């Protein structure tokens, strides 16, 4: 949930919780599925690379998929977040996805 502060500023932001602090439920918390979690643990750079992909999501995408309330308040529910596409994936994730797809072809 976030409030617009002008057309050039997106109301929603992504952060990497390196401290593993308990996060309030006023935030949309993203937790990797076990398969992705294992890939992220294999290399310390990977969480940051995935964060960059999330941060590259355009404000327009977020606002279009989410809900808008009075006063410029925007909210994105988990199911709505599932409709937002990443513009690019980290190379390690592209390779892994291709390997997984090859298994079912």
pLDDT 10s digits, 26-84: 788 888 999 999 999 999 999 999 999 999 888 888 888 888 888 778 888 888 888 98
How many other CB atoms are there within 10 angstroms of residue 45's CB atom?
11
Percentages helix, strand, coil for the chain, rounded to the nearest 5?
45, 10, 50
Closest CA to 15 of 57, 43, 48: 48
pLDDT tops 60 at residue 97 = yes
CA dihedral 96, 99, 103, 104 (to 10 degrees): 70
Question: 61: helix, coil or strand?
Answer: helix
Stretch 3-9: mean pLDDT: 61
Domain ranges in the chain are 2-104
The partner residues of 3 in beta bridges, in order of sequence, read 73
Question: Are the C-beta atoms of residues 71 and 3 closer than 8 Å to each other?
Answer: yes
């Amino acid at each position: 949930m976030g409030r617009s502060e002008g057309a050039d500023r997106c109301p929603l932001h992504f952060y990497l919780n390196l401290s593993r602090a308990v996060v309030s439920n006023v935030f949309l918390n993203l937790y990797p599925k076990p398969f992705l979690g294992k890939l992220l643990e294999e290399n310390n750079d990977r969480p940051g690379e995935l964060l960059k992909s999330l941060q590259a999501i355009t404000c327009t995408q977020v606002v279009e998929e989410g809900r808008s309330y009075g006063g410029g308040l925007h909210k994105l529910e988990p199911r709505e977040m599932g409709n937002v596409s990443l513009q690019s994936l980290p190379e390690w994730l592209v390779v892994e996805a291709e390997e997984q797809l090859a298994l079912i072809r």
